């Protein structure tokens, strides 16, 4: 459930009900753009959150695979040797 505070004059629906004829078309388009930007921001935030969650799940299953199907000592030694090799290359 999404909880939002109401604006000072009430929500957008009430504002448009009371002032629709008084608002200029320029202001109506500005309101539409602001709502669209908020909706887009919300969707992008949800997509990034799901993307990050997917990455964490994949990393979790990768480590499960490493723990159960590959000898952990061999994996750790290979990783250490790889890191040492990379460090030696750069220095």
- Model confidence pLDDT, tens digit, residues 15-72: 888 888 898 999 888 888 888 888 888 888 888 888 888 888 888 888 777 777 666 6
Q: Is residue 8's pLDDT more than 80?
A: no
- The pLDDT value recorded for residue 3 is 46
pTM: 0.49
Assign 91 a pLDDT band (cuts: 50, 70, 90). low
For residue 13, what is the enclosing H or E element?
helix 12-19
| Separation between Cα atoms, residue 36 and residue 12, nearest integer Å | 13
The pLDDT-based confidence of 9 (bands split at 50, 70, 90) is low
Q: Where are the domains of the chain?
A: 20-90
Which residues, 6 or more positions from 9, have their beta carbon under 8 angstroms from its beta carbon? Answer: 15
């Amino acid at each position: 459930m999404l909880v939002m505070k109401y604006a000072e004059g009430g929500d957008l629906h009430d504002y448009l009900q009371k002032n629709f004829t008084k608002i200029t078309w320029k202001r109506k388009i500005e309101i539409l753009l602001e709502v669209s930007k908020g909706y887009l921001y919300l969707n992008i935030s949800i997509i990034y959150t799901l993307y990050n969650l997917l990455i964490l799940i994949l990393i979790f299953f990768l480590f499960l695979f490493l723990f159960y199907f590959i000898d952990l000592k061999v994996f750790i030694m290979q990783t250490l040797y790889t890191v040492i090799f990379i460090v030696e290359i750069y220095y």
